[in-house]
């Protein structure tokens, strides 16, 4: 029984998100637009919700929303900081890069959390996720500052992972 209700939750969640996107793009209250959006997004959600989300409305739990908010702040700060670092490297006359591909182990369990971590690492400049095999991340690093696994983990992922564990693995 629990599984069935969860399915409905995931379906409604997908429908809601798609409808928000539809109405955000059309920005009109004409009845024809509203009805078309309602039907079309419902159909798309019915066929695609299984691959769209594994969490459904549980993502809107207040504790999770708080941590998602905190994560966005940490991420934005890291994004701006590392963009300035890369800008400095590019403008430096000697181009002081020290690139290499490093790996570290993540302690995240769910696939979705790993994907979010990989994308976050890629979005912050200076680090680029080349591959993700089970729980090992292979990262191309523009300017290596540490060489042992613990230091690599500390420099690249620790800040993000602390919060992601709280969002997805509890």
Partner 1 sequence: METIFTYLGYFFVALGAIFLFLGALGIYRMPDLYTRVQAGTKASTLGAMSLILGVAFLEPDWWIKLLIMILFIAFSNPLSSHAIARGSYKHNLKPFSKEQVDAYEEVEESKEEQK
Q: Does 131 bind partner 1 (CB under 8 A)?
A: yes
In the complex, minimum distance from the CB of residue 98 to partner 1, in angstroms, rounded to a whole number? 6
**3-state SS string for 5-68:** HHHHHHHHHHHHHHHHHHHHHHCCCCHHHHHHHHHHHHHHHHHHHHHHCCCHHHHHCHHHHHHH
Shortest spacing between CB 150 and partner 1, in angstroms: 14
Question: In Å, how far are 8, 112, 123, 136 from 46, measured between CA atoms?
Answer: 10, 21, 31, 34
- Applying CB under 8 A, among 35, 119, 135, 158 the residue interacting with partner 1 is 119
If one asks whether residue 21 binds partner 1 (CB under 8 A), the answer comes out as yes
> By the criterion CB under 8 A, which residues form the site for partner 1?
21, 24-25, 27, 79-80, 82-83, 86-87, 89-91, 95, 97-103, 118-120, 122-126, 128-131, 133, 138, 140, 142, 144, 147
């Amino acid at each position: 029984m629990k599984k069935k209700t969860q399915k409905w939750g995931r379906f409604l969640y997908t429908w809601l998100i798609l409808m928000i996107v539809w109405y955000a793009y059309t920005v009109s209250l004409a009845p024809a637009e509203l009805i078309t959006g309602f039907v079309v997004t419902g159909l798309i959600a019915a066929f695609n919700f299984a691959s769209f989300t594994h969490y459904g409305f549980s993502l809107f739990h207040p504790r999770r929303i708080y941590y998602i908010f905190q994560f966005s702040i940490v991420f934005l700060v890291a994004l701006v900081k590392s963009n300035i670092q890369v800008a400095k490297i590019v403008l430096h006359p000697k181009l002081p890069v020290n690139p290499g591909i490093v790996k570290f182990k993540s302690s995240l369990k769910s696939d979705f959390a790993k994907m979010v971590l990989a994308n976050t690492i890629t979005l912050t400049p200076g680090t680029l996720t080349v591959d993700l095999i089970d729980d090992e991340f292979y990262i191309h690093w523009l300017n290596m500052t540490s060489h042992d696994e613990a230091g690599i983990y500390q420099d690249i992922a620790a800040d993000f992972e602390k919060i992601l564990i709280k969002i997805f693995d509890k």
